[in-house]
Structure 1
Amino acid sequence: MIDLYYWTTPNGHKITMFLEETGLAYKIFPINIGKGDQFQPDFLKISPNNRIPAIVDHEPADGGPALSVFESGAILLYLAEKTGRFLPQDLRGRHDVLQWLFWQMAGLGPMAGQNHHFNVYAPEKIPYAIDRYVRETGRLYGVLNKQLSDREFIAKEYSIADMACYPWVVSHERQSQDLNDFPHLKRWFEAIAARPATRRAYDLVKEINPAPAPHDEAARKLLFGQDAGTVK
Structure 2
Amino acid sequence: MILDAARLAAANLLSPASRSILWKSLGLTLLILIGLWFGLESTFSNLVMPWLGSFLPGLPDWAGWAATVAAVIAGFGLALALALFVAPVTAVVAGLFLDDIAEVIEQRDYPLDPPGKAMPLGDAIGQSLKFLVVVAIGNLFALMLLIVPGINLMAFFLVNGYLLGREYFEFAASRFMSPAEARRLRSRHSTTVFLAGLVIAAFLSVPLLNLLTPMFAASMMVHLYKRVEQRRGRPG
TM-score under structure 2 length normalisation: 0.28
Higher helix share goes to which structure?
Answer: 2
Higher strand share goes to which structure?
Answer: 1
TM-score under structure 1 length normalisation: 0.29
For CA contacts below 8 A with separation 6 or more, give which structure has more relative contact order.
Answer: 2
